[in-house]
Structure 1
Amino acid sequence: MAIASLHVFLLPSCSLIMIILMIFIGFKWISFRSKPRKTQPPSPPKLPIIGNLHQLGSNPHRSLHALSQKHGPIMFLHFGSLPTLVASSAEVAREIMKTHDLSFSSRPSLTIPNIVLYGGNDIAFSPYGEYWRQLKSIVVLHLLSNSRVKSFRQVREEEMAHMISILVESCGSLVNLSESIISLTNNVICRAALGRTYRGSKFTELLRKLMDLLGVISVGNYISWLSWVDRLIGVEGKAKKTAKEFDEFLKGVLEEHINKEKMVDGKSDESKDLVDILLEIQREKTTGFTLQRDNLKAVILDVFGGGVDTTSTTIEWAISELVKHPRVMKKLQQEVTEIAQGRSMIPEEDLEKMEYLKAVIKETLRLHVPVPLLVPRESTQDVKLMGYDIPAGTQVIINAWAIGRDSTSWEEAIEFRPERFLKNSIDYKGFHYEWLPFGAGRRGCPGIQFGVVIVELALANIVYKFDLALPNGAKNEDLDMSETYGIVLHRKSSLLVNLHAR
């Protein structure tokens, strides 16, 4: 009897619960239907925990290009837990770097740059905000302006003459041209930035360590609970060791300049190097922005990292392509010889007359963009991009290497053909998105002119003074053009040539 009574009591209770449950589900369904559905770009399948990290391979620029051939020029990947947008066409790049540039102008916080670049307080890696705007303004107006770049003309020409004299002594023998080019760019930038050269392999090796580290993929950036892996494999330790070595070097540079300032009653504006200018800005506080010592060091590292490596590798790839294509080499040699008119060296004032030289450099930058995957950006707000919903906090990678070789933008896209730039208004200043060797928008490289003039001067004088041949009778077309990936794309092997005076 009691059981029967209980059964009768439970029936209405169960019905009530079911009714409440149905109402709850109904509300949830209506709420779900009323919310706008998020549309993400195409995405390749991912694995648990690591997402798409396994698909990067040893050459991420090539791997991401291959994925884009299958999934399209705009892709959504997951590197661990970090959502990542990958752009592989001019159209997508334009949307990111022009239409929605402000939303995509920040940088993700990355372990290695934070360690070696004073908490990411440099121009390249610092997040978008007032600090970055003030710092970029100082660099553009005071360090890399047209007048400032021109003021270092004598430095460039002297170091160029020094390298040529060494190469002349090596004529008839095998020369490691890669080492000579790195030495040239290192010496020019050292004198412009620090006031004197730091010749020798120790400084060069330290700079190479820095650039290699900036190209390392840190596990902890993408899977935070696996950040111990970076310590286990020694990446974090190497970064801290390199940061300490560079910090000690830069402390010495700053102290040397401060002591000289005390001894000398002011320098003329033309004789000032970049450190002199930074210290003057710090002392006089004319910008309304206080520069701390670590800020100065971070900017100096940017000048070296963004200057020496990208400039030297561009010269190296240009000469490699010229050796591989004798027709182009001969045509360039004819141009520089006609303009030089028998002088011992080509001065900077003649570079503007050399249309084919500029075309060769542009074509080199198209096929061998110095930074194949532009420094990652990060979205600061939700964005509707080409019909897709991109959430705030998404890492954005622009594959400049793939864009420069896109057959929809370039005829015979993988062929080295400088003539395509001869009667063409396309330049590398960030206004043409089918070609982005220096990026574009707010985060475009501010040091374009500083680097390009070194490339032009070096290439013009090397091909003017020398004929270059591969060793051991190797055919020009057989030159190994293999690359090694890093934040800057280098030749895998040094460029070894036999030099002959012209």
Structure 2
Amino acid sequence: MSQTLKLASRASLVSRSFPELWAELGFQAPARVIKTHKTLEDMPGPSVLGFFTDLFCKRGLARLHELQIEGKAKYGPVWKASFGPILTVHVAEPSLIEQVLRQEGKHPIRSDLSSWKDYRVCRGHAYGLLTAEGEEWQKLRSILGKHMLKPKEVESYTGTLNSVVSDLVRRLHHQRSCHGQQVVKDVAGEFYKFGLEGISSVLFESRIGCLELDVPQETENFIRSINRMFVMTLLTMAMPKFLHRIFPKPWKIFCESWDYMFAFAKGHIDKRMAEVAERVSRGETVEGKYLTYYLAQEKLSMKSIYGNVTELLLAGVDTISSTLSWSLYELSRHPRVQEALHEEITGVMKGGAVPSAADVAQMPLLKAVVKEALRLYPVIPGNARVISDRDIQVGEYLIPRKTLITLCHYATSRDARFFPEPDSFRPERWLRKDAAHHPYASIPFGFGKRSCIGRRIAELEVYLALARILMHFEVKPEPEGARVRPMTRTLLVPDRDINLQFVSR
């Protein structure tokens, strides 16, 4: 009997829940903790040593864009990694990128760009649109947006840009005569000069000689300074500040590069402003059509003008050079697409010599070619955001405020779910109405308030240049030329010179 009671008692204990037993014994049941979001601790990712090994023991910083694809395959659409002293969350899914960007707030921060800011503090320079934050950034964005984002304002630069394109075509004619088989060596370098001349004409309404047969030495030095600065940017950001004293060379080269760029911009601004002042003193009416003039009219300090123009100079160059280089590289390898594009251009122009903004608006294949080149080779392979005022939810994770979030555009733009045959150059994918691309799968100019403010000017410049080049030349690969692949130098650039044949039509 007693054994039966004991068994019944045990059965009763087993049948009751733990909270019931806890209450029966006179204790208050502990509160049930429900975890609604995963945290950074739950997020997968390589160890610091593992990431360092992947990065530096293989192809180094040059393969950062490839690590996006490898990271997504290994860890899923969201993972974390430490880049030197910086912890970053990588997001490689279009819907999650959209989720991040829709929570960026009133004054979004693109990324910390700590070394860029450290340099400006060190030298006492003003922040420009790329480095400013908060209300200062909002003010600069509003001022520049009046003249760089409105379609009619941008179209007004057509004549200025077409003048630069004419010089580019003449230079290509000359450069191909310098080598056998009508080859132009290092087209990215030629388009770099074109991009700098174009943005300078918009900023100063004057020319700086980039497309002359003998390029001024100061212009060559400026171009080299931009390249060195971008290479050193990743190194200086990855190194803790105390290492700058132990290994001073990267920081020294970085600062010297910026010093030259600021001095270059200041010299051209001062010269242009002095010309305007002289005309005003003679009682002449001055109507500027260049951005430096507009900035002066907005009562910005000269220090702020120097900072903004310097940043706009470097921002405008790489976009043009990269997009034109990769577009012509792929067109040279796809002659049927090139021929179809040539037919489109000549059909719209009907014997006209110089396309206008209205003309390129009637060239859908031209725009599709540029879109496809930017999908395959986004100038900025990974954009970033720092949400400074609150924690945000990204998928199943709660990301703490002030966490650096890298948006992996290179990985999403080569995702087969959104772009069949993702590594193939297929401009027609942008022309089919039934093709459904996630709107955030390929956003080479960014999105929202922190999107590229020079996008419209850059696109117009690329369209005008590409149309004119194909009106004059059939572009072919260099005979026995090697395959060119992208590599990361902060921006995405060719891993070797792109050499192309320019055959007169």
Structure-2-length-normalised TM-score: 0.81
In 2, Cα distance between equivalents of 1:385 and 1:93: 8
How big is the shift at 1:347? 3.5
Question: Quick one: which of 355, 374, 381 aligns to 1:365?
Answer: 374
Q: Contact 2:329/2:500 (CA < 8 Å) preserved in 1?
A: no
Q: Contact 1:115/1:243 (CA < 8 Å) preserved in 2?
A: no
Question: Quick one: which of 233, 257, 262 aligns to 2:272?
Answer: 257
Aligned partner letter, 1:72: G
How big is the shift at 1:146? 2.5
How big is the shift at 1:221? 4.3
Q: Contact 1:220/1:230 (CA < 8 Å) preserved in 2?
A: no
In 1, Cα distance between equivalents of 2:231 and 2:131: 13
In 2, Cα distance between equivalents of 1:457 and 1:437: 19
Q: Using a 3 Å threshold, how does the CA distance of structure 1 residues 37 and 423 change in structure 2: closer, same or farther?
A: closer
How big is the shift at 1:180? 2.9
Aligned partner letter, 2:383: L
Q: How does 1:178-193 map to 2 (within 5 A)?
A: 178-193=188-203
Q: Contact 2:233/2:254 (CA < 8 Å) preserved in 1?
A: no
**TM-align CA RMSD:** 3.0
How big is the shift at 1:411? 1.4
Aligned partner letter, 1:189: I
In 2, Cα distance between equivalents of 1:114 and 1:184: 28
Aligned partner letter, 2:158: R
Q: Using a 3 Å threshold, how does the CA distance of structure 1 residues 185 and 479 change in structure 2: closer, same or farther?
A: same
2:460 matches 1:460 = no
Query: 2:474 is paired with a residue of what secondary structure?
Result: strand
2:222 matches 1:206 = yes
Q: Using a 3 Å threshold, how does the CA distance of structure 1 residues 415 and 159 change in structure 2: closer, same or farther?
A: same
In 2, Cα distance between equivalents of 1:321 and 1:39: 43
2:161 matches 1:156 = yes
Q: Contact 1:112/1:214 (CA < 8 Å) preserved in 2?
A: no
How big is the shift at 1:425? 9.2
1:274 aligns to what?
291
Q: Contact 2:386/2:402 (CA < 8 Å) preserved in 1?
A: no
Query: 1:77 is paired with a residue of what secondary structure?
Result: strand
Q: Using a 3 Å threshold, how does the CA distance of structure 1 residues 222 and 36 change in structure 2: closer, same or farther?
A: farther
1:78 aligns to what?
82
Aligned partner letter, 2:489: G
Query: 1:251 is paired with a residue of what secondary structure?
Result: helix
Aligned partner letter, 2:153: R
Worse overlay, 205-214 or 31-40 = 31-40
Worse overlay, 133-142 or 316-325 = 133-142
Question: Quick one: which of 113, 116, 125 aligns to 2:131?
Answer: 125
In 1, Cα distance between equivalents of 2:196 and 2:239: 37
Note the residue ranges of structure 2 that are not aligned, 5 or more in a row.
1-29, 210-214
Question: Quick one: which of 243, 253, 260 aligns to 1:228?
Answer: 243
Q: How does 1:300-449 map to 2 (within 5 A)?
A: 300-424=309-433, 432-449=439-456
How big is the shift at 1:332? 1.0
Q: Contact 1:373/1:397 (CA < 8 Å) preserved in 2?
A: yes
How big is the shift at 1:261? 2.2
How big is the shift at 1:231? 5.8
Q: Using a 3 Å threshold, how does the CA distance of structure 1 residues 85 and 230 change in structure 2: closer, same or farther?
A: farther
In 2, Cα distance between equivalents of 1:186 and 1:38: 47
Worse overlay, 205-214 or 33-42 = 33-42
Q: How does 1:21-32 map to 2 (within 5 A)?
A: none
Query: 1:257 is paired with a residue of what secondary structure?
Result: helix
Query: 1:489 is paired with a residue of what secondary structure?
Result: strand
2:39 aligns to what?
39
2:484 aligns to what?
481
1:14 aligns to what?
none
2:24 aligns to what?
none
Q: Using a 3 Å threshold, how does the CA distance of structure 1 residues 307 and 274 change in structure 2: closer, same or farther?
A: same
1:61 aligns to what?
65
Worse overlay, 170-179 or 415-424 = 170-179
Q: Using a 3 Å threshold, how does the CA distance of structure 1 residues 117 and 196 change in structure 2: closer, same or farther?
A: farther
2:170 matches 1:135 = no
Aligned partner letter, 1:244: D
Q: Using a 3 Å threshold, how does the CA distance of structure 1 residues 107 and 356 change in structure 2: closer, same or farther?
A: closer
- Matched-pair identity in %: 22
Q: Using a 3 Å threshold, how does the CA distance of structure 1 residues 451 and 131 change in structure 2: closer, same or farther?
A: same
Question: Quick one: which of 297, 304, 308 aligns to 2:306?
Answer: 297
Q: Using a 3 Å threshold, how does the CA distance of structure 1 residues 267 and 366 change in structure 2: closer, same or farther?
A: farther
In 2, Cα distance between equivalents of 1:413 and 1:383: 31
Aligned partner letter, 1:318: S
How big is the shift at 1:420? 0.6
Worse overlay, 80-89 or 317-326 = 80-89
Question: Deviation digits for residues 185-215 of structure 1, max 9, x if unmatched?
Answer: 2212111112222222532442442354245
Q: Using a 3 Å threshold, how does the CA distance of structure 1 residues 239 and 154 change in structure 2: closer, same or farther?
A: same
1:9 aligns to what?
none
How big is the shift at 1:123? 1.6
In 2, Cα distance between equivalents of 1:343 and 1:37: 61
In 2, Cα distance between equivalents of 1:35 and 1:326: 57
Q: Contact 2:148/2:457 (CA < 8 Å) preserved in 1?
A: no
How big is the shift at 1:106? 2.0
Q: Using a 3 Å threshold, how does the CA distance of structure 1 residues 470 and 80 change in structure 2: closer, same or farther?
A: closer
Question: Quick one: which of 180, 189, 195 aligns to 2:205?
Answer: 195
2:252 aligns to what?
237
How big is the shift at 1:381? 2.0
In 2, Cα distance between equivalents of 1:219 and 1:491: 19
In 2, Cα distance between equivalents of 1:309 and 1:218: 17
How big is the shift at 1:343? 3.1
Q: Contact 1:88/1:399 (CA < 8 Å) preserved in 2?
A: yes
Q: Contact 1:335/1:356 (CA < 8 Å) preserved in 2?
A: yes
In 2, Cα distance between equivalents of 1:71 and 1:326: 39
Query: 2:352 is paired with a residue of what secondary structure?
Result: coil
Question: Deviation digits for residues 48-75 of structure 1, max 9, x if unmatched?
Answer: xx68444444311111221111101111
Q: Contact 1:363/1:417 (CA < 8 Å) preserved in 2?
A: yes
Aligned partner letter, 1:372: P
Question: Deviation digits for residues 423-454 of structure 1, max 9, x if unmatched?
Answer: 349999xx921111011122111111010011
Query: 1:353 is paired with a residue of what secondary structure?
Result: coil
How big is the shift at 1:91? 1.1
Q: Using a 3 Å threshold, how does the CA distance of structure 1 residues 78 and 490 change in structure 2: closer, same or farther?
A: closer
